[in-house]
Structure formats: C-alpha cells, structure tokens
Structure 1
Amino acid sequence: HHVPQVPEDLTGKMFTFPRQTNTAHVKLITTIDTFRAATVCHRSFSDLRRDHALFSLSTTINSNGFLIFWDEGNKELEPHVSDKKLEYKGLDFKLNMWHSICTTWDSTSGLVQLWLDGQPLMKKFVSSTLIIKGRVAIVLGQEQDSHGSLFDLKQSFVGMMTDVHMWDYTLSACEIQKYMDELNFTPGNILNWGALEFQIVERVLIENRQTTCTKL
C-alpha cells in the first residue's frame, strides 16, 4: 500500500546519515517513469574513505538508471546512466567539507557533464540511444543493486546531504552556477528540496543546516 507523502519544505535543513548500515536511507517520491534528459544537483558532506553512493535512481530495467558514485580506489566521481559508467578523475574531493555536485545528461547528444564546487568538468559521451525508463526508485544514503533494494553496507553514505533537486531536462550553465553559488535558481521539477516528497527508513535525521552563529 502507498502512503501518500505530503511535500515538505526542507529549505535550510539537511539529512544526516549518522552511521554505516545497509538499511538506513531516504526514499524520494516521483511518478515520472521516462527520462530523455536529466539534471541532478545536491550538496554532501562526509569523511568517508571508501566507495559510496551520493544519489541512486534505479528503474525496473536498470539498477543504475542514474547513479552518482564516489570510487575511492580510483579516486573518481562516477555518473552512471542506464548502467553505463563514466569516470571523472583528478578531483579535489576533500573530506569534511560541503561539496556541490550537479550532473547533466541528455539522450539526444548522448553527453554527460559533471559540475563540482562551481567548476564545469569535461563533457563525456555516454550513448546516443539511451533513455531511462521503467518504474523509478530514488534513494539517498544507499546504492541500489536491485530496484529499491539490495543495499551494500560498504557503499552506504555516511554524512550530511542537502539541497537535492532533479530536473527532467539539462539545466543551463547559468542556472547551475546559480545553484552552486546558492542564489535563486529554478527548483527541480522532478525533485524539489523546497517541496520534497520522501520517506525516511530507519535512522536518518532531519536537522538544521545552519551551524555558524551570526556575529552581531
């Protein structure tokens, strides 16, 4: 049975994933089941020195429908589209600080582009025929090896995450820059942090992101 989720405004809040498990995660709810393009943006903060998933969208057809993954062994961010993997090496992916990551993909050009902390990285070709289709399951905190399940402890995310947005089109460079600089940008039309439908499974906390005191 499906419990309808009321969209919640998480502006100024973050999800805290406090411990390594193969169970704790946040399900993000959307009804869209076909993507010909996508942009996903989020900010994350962690001290993990191992592989971990940052964003995991699977479909009934592809378990890595749209996956953003940190590969510790190769020290690279890996976007996956319909189970095809791209590798971004040589990144300054420091521990214990906020990183803003946006990933764009367009099926017409077949190109993927990653943005990290304000910088656009190389555009890379993934495929000119792929579209993402099938019933969608979106998870934060775990990596899906099957639709909505099969989580691996050693790929779980431990840390904080905020400002998760997803669009079903490629965001312009200008809009991505606005997101990176925390200015007013067009919120996601698929996932919107300011009106997010989600379900928390096990220990994931919603906390205020603001941690510095304002000086008088």
Structure 2
Amino acid sequence: MKTVLVLLGVLLPLISSGQSGLTDKGLFFPKPSANSYVKLTPQKPLNLKAFTLCMRLSVDPTVVNQGNRETILFAYRTQNGDELNVWQEYGKFSLYLRSSTEGAFYAIPLLSIFRTNLCVTWESSTGLTAFWVDGRRSTLQVYRKNHKVQSGGAVVLGQDPDSDLGGFDEDQSFVGEISDVNIWDSVLTGDEIRNFNDKVWVGPEPNVLNWNTVWYKVNGNVFVVPEKYK
C-alpha cells in the first residue's frame, strides 16, 4: 500500500499539469469568471508573418451579447503585452495585433447559442485582413502591414490576461463553448476555409496550433465536453 501511495504522489502532479489532444471535444465555460481559463501550448512558436485562425463558438447571448460587454474569444500574450487577440465587443468583432487600442473592427453577425464557424486571416506583406463567418468572408481591411507576430507568449482561452496568466476581468470572460481552435502560418484559400465547416477536414494540417494534438491545461470551472455532445 505504501508503494502505491508513493506512486500516486508521483503521478498526480503529472496528470494535473496538463493533457494532450482535444479531438472531437470542446471546452465549456458555464458562467462569467475571473479565474476559469485553458492554456494551450502550440506545436511551434507563434512567429508569424501571416496566419489563419479558425474556431467553433457558441455563447450564452444573455451575457455575451450585451451591448456594452467585451468578450475575449482568443488571447495570445507575451511579456511585452497583448500580441494577438480576438474579441466580440460592443456589438462588433475585433482583431488586435500588439495593441489593445488600435484594431481591425467588423460589424458582422454576433455569436449565438448555435455553433458558429469563425476564422480570421491576416498577412503582413499586404496587411489584408478578414473575418469569415460560416464560410462567408467579410470585406477586407488593411491592418498592420509589415508587422510580425512575436513568439514567446501564452495562448489562453476564456480570459484576457493583462499580465502573465493574471489580471483577469470577469466582465471580459468567455461564456459558452469553444472547440476546434486551429492556427496555420499562412492565409488559407476561401475553399479551404469553407471546408472548415465540415466535420471531416480536408485542408492542410494546422501547423502552428492543432486542436487534435495541442497540449492543454484547464484551470477553474471549465468542462471538457466529450464527443457524444459534439
């Protein structure tokens, strides 16, 4: 019995330190919180001159769609500040690259209780930026031409870190479900992004952050939703 307890003492810290892969699973944030989040570890550094970020989202609209609310959808922060953030705020969607004030803003349909396939594309050489909702592209904007996303940060779902995994604000927290968060280091074609709507993905393998293989750590009141609910 003593040997078993010793082994458990060794294994439990390893188990609680994180897990790998979220294939056919989702993350459910049931209510506003200042301490519930999931940290993702990408398979390669976010050292990007272009990207496609895709995810599937559904929300509690009674919370998230209040006209004066900011809701973080995706956060990537380095020690120097917010590096790549996606928000639904004040009735619009927004993308911020190394800024919390100067962003690209889009008046597109808001998230709902039903699942939305959301993608964001950006490339440094032209600055061309777009949001894609269920395979439909917004108008293009020019944003952060010749910019580069820096490596060395943390990817967080559910909260907007104002410091190193801290400084969370309950009124900015995500409330709902997130799944299939993937990042490519290029701008996918329209047909490839539209294929993201399908259950079986036939496009290129996500090479920066892959939901199926990503290392993740859950903190606080977050449910890992099993396949039977997907």
**TM tier, smaller:** 0.7 to 0.9
- For the aligned residue pairs, the C-alpha RMSD in angstroms reads 1.9
- The partner residue of 1:68 within 86, 99, 104 is 86
Is 1:150 matched up with 2:150?
no
* Greater Cα shift, 176-185 or 75-84: 176-185
Higher helix share: 2
**What per-residue deviation string (whole Å, max 9, x for no partner) do you get for residues 57-79 of structure 1?**
1122231x1111001x3x11001
Equivalent position amino acid for 2:218 in 1: I
The 2-side partners of 1:162 and 1:80 are apart by 21
The 2-side partners of 1:114 and 1:140 are apart by 19
The 2-side partners of 1:207 and 1:69 are apart by 23
Q: Which runs of 5+ in 1 are unaligned?
A: none
Q: Where in structure 2 are the equivalents of 1:109-148 lying within 5 Å?
A: 109-148=126-165
Going from structure 1 to structure 2, the CA distance change for 1:150 and 1:162 (only over 3 Å counts) comes to: same
Equivalent position amino acid for 2:74 in 1: F
Is 1:171 matched up with 2:188?
yes
- The partner residue of 1:79 within 55, 79, 95 is 95
Aligned length: 205
Q: Percent sequence identity over matched residues? A: 26
Structure 1-normalised TM-score? 0.87
* Greater Cα shift, 105-114 or 147-156: 147-156
Match in the other structure for 1:191: 209
Post-superposition offset of 1:33: 4.6
**What per-residue deviation string (whole Å, max 9, x for no partner) do you get for residues 165-188 of structure 1?**
011221222211110233423232
Equivalent position amino acid for 2:226 in 1: N
Q: Which runs of 5+ in 2 are unaligned?
A: 1-13
Structure 2-normalised TM-score? 0.82
Going from structure 1 to structure 2, the CA distance change for 1:157 and 1:167 (only over 3 Å counts) comes to: same
Q: Which secondary structure does the structure 2 equivalent of 1:20 belong to?
A: coil
